[in-house]
Amino acid sequence: MSETQAPLPLDAWHRARGGRMVPFAGYAMPVQYEGIMAEHLWTRSSAGLFDVSHMGQIIVAGPEAEKGLAALLPADFAILKDARPKYSLLLNDDGGIIDDLMVTRRGEHFYLVVNGATKHGDIEWMEQRLPRGAVLDHMKEQALLALQGPKAVDALQRLAPGVQELTFMTAGSYKIGGVSAWISRSGYTGEDGFEISVPAISAEPIADLLVAQEEVKPIGLGARDSLRLEAGLPLYGHDLDTAISPVEADLVFALSKRRREEGGFPGWHRIAKELANGPSRKRVGLAIEGRQPVREGAVVIDLAGAEAGKVTSGGFSPSLEAPIAMAYVPSRDAEPGTRISLSARGKTFTGTVTAMPFVPHRYHRKGGSK
């Protein structure tokens, strides 16, 4: 194992189940077990277990924790209820996205989940800017699992009775096999499902309990990527980076209404200007003609033949049996139905701007609706 591929708590568990390991975010992670297509479709129809322990789990506590986080994130902490995860963004002073993350108020402290590839930079950025009365703890002793799919609730409620009462973007403390777990009804696939934080020392027996359920199979990174692409969800480092603003990325919903108007977080001046005047470019979904997918890096070509944007994610959709992509295009071309020319590998492709998600979300919302 090289220094650039640190083992996760379930490393041996993945290998024993035939996981094909690849380097990702500084770790060795399973890209697939029985095949990306099969794993993708299994998750859409049943329940898939993903190891996402590479993600950073962070506690921010202390008398100035709320004040400190409110100065860094565009969420409205005044209305952030206990055990209600909120999607938010860590922004730089120019309004670019340092990371996208989840933040949850848990009583007297805040629990954050950040991306694996950016977690060390995120922690350094926050530690430099949080006030002395806010203490940050990187929870290195915790593992994180995601159970996703329409039958995830059937499997998990047998092991953690009561989780079926959770609705989308709510969370709570439960026991699985006698082990304390923090469980949120959330995920990165567009399906109903849960994210489960447990002590790393208990990750293997809990993973065993989960895959012992008839609905559950282990799923690799490959299907995680195709699922999130179908769901229209951006991947940091590909669809989001430090030059892209939340307005360009079509993530305005992550900026609370009050904070949009009042500011007080990094990059607000650029964001306010883009909200008022519109951004020069926007993240859009593309349905690609033909059967051949276009990949990240393909160039968007304008009528004059000049480069006008780039594909940031692309692949073949197992659910739709057609190629799809995300790209940044000039705002004038961002309306659904607009035809877009693309160049990749010396070939020209045609895409049509389409609303995202490509495959409808099936989150379990309050009231039992999907």
Strands 20-24 and 27-32 turn out to be: antiparallel
For residue 55, pLDDT beyond 70: yes
The C-alpha torsion from 282 through 285 and 290 to 296, rounded to 10°, is: 70
pLDDT in the model for residue 232: 98
pLDDT more than 90, % of the chain:
96
pLDDT over threshold 70, residue 3: no
CA distance 324 to 82: 38
124 alpha carbon, distance to own chain's centre: 21
Residue 50 makes CB contacts below 8 A (sequence gap 6+) with: 145, 146, 147, 148, 218, 219, 224
pLDDT at 291 over 90: yes
Q: Tell me: domain 11-54+141-230, CATH 1.25.40.10, correct?
A: no
Q: Shortest CA distance to 103 belongs to which of 95, 94, 93, 113?
A: 113
* Average pLDDT of the segment spanning 237-249: 98
Residue type, 232: G
* % of the chain beyond a pLDDT of 70: 98
Amino acid at 183: I
234, two tokens: 């951006």
Give the phi and the psi of residue 332 in degrees, each rounded to 5: -65, -20
In the chain, ranges of CATH 3.30.1360.120 domains? 11-54+141-230
Q: Dump pLDDT digits (tens) for 260-280.
A: 999 999 999 999 999 999 999
What the block records as the tokens of 90 is: 């860590």
- Give me the phi and psi of 281, to 5 degrees please: -140, 160
Residue 44 pLDDT greater than 80, yes or no: yes
- Cα 287–Cα 96–Cα 61 angle in degrees, nearest 5: 115
**Where residue 2 falls among pLDDT bands split at 50, 70, 90?**
very low
The span from the CA of 304 to the CA of 108, in Å, is: 57
Q: What is the pLDDT of residues 327-359, one digit of tens each?
A: 999 999 999 999 999 999 999 999 999 999 999
Each residue's pLDDT tens digit, 71-91? 999 999 999 999 999 999 999
Whether 368 has a pLDDT exceeding 70, the answer reads no
d(CA 78, CA 100): 20
Q: Hey, what are 140's tokens?
A: 């290195």
Within its chain, how far is the Cα of 275 from the centroid?
24
Provide the mean pLDDT of the chain.
Answer: 96
Distance CA 259, CA 266 (A): 11
Checking if the pLDDT of 1 tops 50, the result is no
In this predicted structure, the answer to whether residue 304 has a pLDDT above a threshold of 90 is no
CA Rg, the chain, in Å? 20
Alpha carbon 70 to its chain centroid, in Å, reads 21
What's the pTM value of the predicted model, to 2 decimals?
A: 0.96
Segment 221-241 shows an average pLDDT of 98
Q: What is the pLDDT of residue 4?
A: 57
Give residue 366's pLDDT.
84
**Do residues 105 and 120 touch, judged by C-beta distance below 8 A?**
no
| CATH architecture, domain defined by 280-370 | Beta Barrel (2.40)
Residue intervals in the chain for CATH 2.40.30.110 = 280-370
